[in-house]
Amino acid sequence: MRIARLGEFEREKPAVIVSETEAVFVDDVIADWNRPSFESGALEKVAAIDLSSRPRVKISDFRIGSPVARPTKALCVGLNYTQHAIETGATPPTEPIIFMKAPDTVIGPNDDVIVPPNSLKTDYEVEICVVMKKRALYLNSPEEARDYILGYTVSQDVSERHWQTERGGQWVKGKSFPTFNPVGPWIITTDEMKDPQNLRLWCKVDDEMRQDSNTNDMIFDINYCVWYISQVMALEAGDIINTGTPQGVGMGFKPEKYIKGGETVVTGIDGIGSITNHFKNYKA
């Protein structure tokens, strides 16, 4: 199943994508694709209805919102691709590097990203994003983790490197600016995802391919990351986890290729979809 939210900001309605161009609204069955609904069996309720008997709408007639509403946590795994660790000059980690970004950074897949005032080091990062289906705490093994995953989506984990690396070493500061986490366009549920560890993922800036890799370059695979995080905190339904970015980020080039404002960034993962964001300079 491909689940999405369509409509104006803060007025989105839950939907199921039924073709490349069409969707079916399910807001009469569930309130939203969010934590309370997932906890009360939203996915199972929608799976039990006959979608073929419902009126279809054109996806293009609507803004596409973040496919999960108001996640309580937005987590990230840092330096989780071998080649990315190499390009940054970092030693590949022996355990997952975990940090958070503010949950309200999450925006729709094609919404504008706002470059902070005076930023000279805003960067892009394509990532496959995990969405949690139910509460996960102290899982017994990485193999058990898949049962707790709702599905996968595309994430653009925008970063401001000056604040991330040069202002005291706390990554969350460079990750939590408003609009810094476009997600979407929809969630591919686990029953339709054969192998999330063998997907091409890529990112273009103004038609220049910057990142082009595969999730098989991860140091710690997705199930391992979910299991590991569950050892130190409770993951709740609707929480999202950005699982790391491959090589080709702006800071990895010599000279560096940061976002200046005015660029169009297209981020994609084969088998899931792509998102397009216009980066605009902040105006008071």
Per-residue pLDDT tens digits for 10-36: 999 999 999 999 999 999 999 999 999
- The answer to whether residue 169 scores a pLDDT higher than 80 is no
Residue 227 in this model has a pLDDT that exceeds 80: yes
> What is the average pLDDT across 74-97?
93
pLDDT at 90: 85
For residue 41, the tally of other CB atoms under 10 A from its CB is: 13
Question: What mean pLDDT comes out for the span 134-159?
Answer: 98
Please state which CATH class domain 74-281 belongs to. alpha beta
Listed in order, the ranges of the chain carrying CATH 3.90.850.10 are: 74-281
Residue 6: predicted pLDDT: 98
Does the pLDDT value for residue 50 go beyond 80?
yes
pLDDT at site 114: 98
Query: What is the share, in percent, of the chain residues with pLDDT greater than 70?
Result: 100
**210 three-state secondary structure:** strand
pLDDT in the model for residue 127:
98
